[in-house]
Amino acid sequence: MWDYTDKVKDHFLKPRNVGELEGANAIGETGSLNCGDALRLYLKVNENERIVDASFMTFGCASAVASSSALTEIIKGMTLTEAAKLTNEDISDYLGGLPKEKMHCSVMGQSALKKAIANYRGIQILEKPGQMVCECFDVTDLEITDAVKKNGLKTTEDVTNYLKAGGGCGKCLDRIEALIESVMLKDRMIQ
Amino acid sequence: MKIVYTDNNATTKVADEVIQEMLPYFGEFYGNPSSMHTFGDQVGKKIKEARQKVADLIHADPDEIVFTSCGTESDNSAVYSALNAYPDKKHIIASNVEHPAINNLYKLLKRTKGYKVTFVPVDKKGLLNLDILYKSLSDDTAILSLMWANNETGVLFPIEKIAQKTQEKGVLFHTDAVQAAGKVPIDVRTAGVDMLSLSGHKIHAPKGIGVLYIKKGLKFSPFLIGGHQEKGRRGGTENAVSIIGLGKAAELAKEHLILMDTKVRGLRDYLQKALLEKIPSCSVNGDLEHRLPNTLSIGFDAVEGESILLMLDREGICASSGSACTSGSLDPSHVLMAMEVPFKSAHGSIRFSLSHYNTKEEMDHVIASVVPVIEKLRAMSPFWKDGKLV
């Protein structure tokens, strides 16, 4: 059984802000039925770009539901500019931490939020920049190197825990390993 | 809270009769079964009795029974023995829904020893593609290993029929009967297999005891090298207490086979019918006919297995899931994927596995709990709207 904090359990069993949000003027969606979790985030944003209400619908495990619930609680009352700065670690910290295998649940929250903000501002998020590495979970090389740098990831397993990349068919694991090595190499050169 | 235990393919309750049988051998009778003195030999005699009872469960000769530490050790021993017996043969066969004890071993042998591996596919019902299997048997095949019954779906493979072919072709045949033992009759005389694995804790004996049946006359090389125990086929001082417990459990399992086929099958069918009737968009995984009487693998569309299990846990219900999130991997179980169970229900697949200790009242509690749990999770799923999958 996973070592979930009481806060994760609480947000899973009594999720806050579940369901469609009437009058929502921004929606962000991430994940899919195939990859095992998905989140649809609804925001109601006022004329001052402040999030006055938020809700979610989530398909996924306990930590996915808890991360979604936590996300809506965190961002209520924030301006979009403030919300845009939110990281997946803020979500995880709010819940008192997540098991490392479940960090991708908090990444999913951050990603849905980004998309909702873009949706409100009328920005279409087109194709992701960079080259596709993990086709199972739609993750690019730039996303991987970014996550490796920011979170100090060291192994392909770490990358899978954060981004899911490499967790499906596993064909891209060599490529992920090469990306980690290239980031580490650059780090050493800088030092 | 009362526990409703419906996870008997994971492990089983140690039967009270088994505990009683073992107790004296934890304390008073601590002698080494191999000793010359009467004090040790009385344990030896008891082990002999247990060996007979285990042999009786599968209609083997006691000399054909080797005690191991678990099903995994039995599986590993069988494969390595075959490879040692036929060092020139470089091809090994299994199905693509095997337990990790075979699956991961085969992958390792492929990666590190260069063995050619055939994983024979199953169809959407989990039934083995016999054409592909038969075509893959060759002079170069060192061993075929197939599970008798699948742990996740309960689907049965036609072991006896396949054994006829392996005998014709002279290919060594091992079966992992860990899930089948005690649930369906096993007769090694008619089954025609060369080796067969069993595990104690799946038949109401304690964990940490397994069996490898080795057909008389088969060339066998031990996996654990040590003393003369088990007639030199498995070194290490016998796990006397657990062997004695397993003997009792095997005796009970044989008596209870009829209960499996009647009471347990009835409870499983009752649970299955009720869930299918009361919950829209759910489906049973695995062939309904060729299936263990105690197993129900059922997939609920648009919800995820870990969430279901954790909510059922709050009601005291123990079950398992084929979903990714419970195992730490990201894809649903390799068994459900091999059967091409669609993602929409694979992620929300739950396995209920019963024993003769279960009651109808317990099934009613499971039904009364599963229905609202699925409703609650669907109410928050973005893939569920107006009573159907979107």
Q: Assess whether pLDDT exceeds 60 at residue A82.
A: yes
Q: Between B10 and A184, name the one with better pLDDT.
A: B10
pLDDT band at A126; cut points 50, 70, 90: low
Place of tokens 């260069």: B114
Mutate to test the interface with B, among A61, A67, A102 (most CBs of B within 10 A): A61
Q: Find the mean pLDDT for residues B286-315.
A: 96
List CB contacts of A22: < 8 A, sequence separation 6 or more: none
Q: Find the mean pLDDT for residues A88-94.
A: 94
Q: Assess whether pLDDT exceeds 90 at residue A137.
A: no
Please state, rounded to an integer, the average pLDDT across all residues of chain A: 90
Does A172 qualify as catalytic in the annotation? no
The runs of H, that is alpha helices, within chain A are 6-13, 62-75, 80-84, 88-94, 103-120, 141-151, 156-163, 173-190
CA A111 centroid distance within chain: 4
Q: Find the mean pLDDT for residues A150-172.
A: 87
Size of interface A-B (CB pairs under 8 A): 75
pTM, two decimals, is 0.90
Inter-chain contact A137–B330, Cβ cutoff 8 Å? yes
Within an 8 Å CB–CB cutoff, is residue A28 touching chain B? no
Q: How far apart are CA B63 and CA B55, in angstroms?
A: 8
Mutate to test the interface with B, among A4, A8, A33 (most CBs of B within 10 A): A33
Q: Which residues of B touch A64 (CB under 8 A)?
A: 304, 325
Residue B380: enclosing H or E segment and its boundaries? none
Within an 8 Å CB–CB cutoff, is residue A162 touching chain B? no
* Chain B residues with at least one Cβ partner in A under 8 Å: 302-307, 310-311, 314, 323-326, 328-332, 343-344, 347, 379-383
List CB contacts of A59: < 8 A, sequence separation 6 or more: A31, A33, A37, A38, A39, B302, B303, B304, B381, B382, B383
| The predicted structure's pLDDT at residue A164 | 86
Share of chain A above pLDDT 90, in %: 61
From the list B304, B328, B379, the residue facing A36 with the nearest CB is B304
Q: Find the mean pLDDT for residues B365-381.
A: 97
Q: Find the mean pLDDT for residues B218-240.
A: 95
Contact A42, A26 (CB under 8 A): yes
Which chain A residue has the Cα nearest residue B330? A167
- Which A positions 132-151 lie with beta carbon below 8 A of chain B? 136-137
Which chain B residue has the Cα nearest residue A101? B328
From the list B347, B379, B380, the residue facing A36 with the nearest CB is B347
Q: How far apart are CA B173 and CA B79, in angstroms?
A: 10
Residue B24: enclosing H or E segment and its boundaries? helix B16-26
ipTM: 0.89
**DSSP letters spanning B339-354:** TT--HHHHTTEEEEE-
Which chain B residue has the Cα nearest residue A31? B382
Q: Whose CA is closest to A133, among A108, A168, A101? A: A168
Q: Find the mean pLDDT for residues B191-195.
A: 96
Q: Which residues of A touch B324 (CB under 8 A)?
A: 36
Q: How far apart are CA A110 and CA B47, in angstroms?
A: 61
**To the nearest 10°, the Cα dihedral for B297, B300, B304, B309?**
-50
Q: Which residues of A touch B328 (CB under 8 A)?
A: 101
Q: Which residues on adjacent β-strands are paired with residue A54?
A: A43
Q: Which residues of A touch B332 (CB under 8 A)?
A: 36
Which chain A residue has the Cα nearest residue B333? A168
Candidate from A18-32, A116-130, B62-76, B78-92 with smallest mean pLDDT: A116-130
pLDDT band at A1; cut points 50, 70, 90: confident
What are B19's two structure tokens? 């505990």
Q: How far apart are CA B44 and CA A80, in angstroms?
A: 76
Q: How far apart are CA B177 and CA B363, in angstroms?
A: 27
Q: Which residues of B touch A101 (CB under 8 A)?
A: 328
Inter-chain contact A59–B330, Cβ cutoff 8 Å? no
Q: Which residues of B touch A16 (CB under 8 A)?
A: none
From the list B343, B347, B382, the residue facing A57 with the nearest CB is B382
| Residues of B annotated as part of the active site | 325
Residue type at position A170: G
Inter-chain contact B325–A61, Cβ cutoff 8 Å? yes
What are B55's two structure tokens? 């042999």
List CB contacts of B83: < 8 A, sequence separation 6 or more: B89, B92, B109, B115, B142, B143
From the list B306, B330, B344, the residue facing A168 with the nearest CB is B330
Q: Assess whether pLDDT exceeds 60 at residue A156.
A: yes
Q: Rounded to the nearest 5 degrees, what angle is found at the Cα of B183, between the Cα atoms of B357 and B156?
A: 135
CA distance B342 to chain A (A): 8
Other Cβ atoms closer than 10 A to B177: 29
Does A61 qualify as catalytic in the annotation? no
Candidates A61, A105, A134, A172; catalytic one: A105
Q: Which residues of B touch A112 (CB under 8 A)?
A: none
What are B120's two structure tokens? 């024979």
Contact B147, B9 (CB under 8 A): no
| The predicted structure's pLDDT at residue B326 | 59
Place of tokens 């930590």: A63
| The predicted structure's pLDDT at residue A34 | 80
| DSSP classification of residue B262 | I
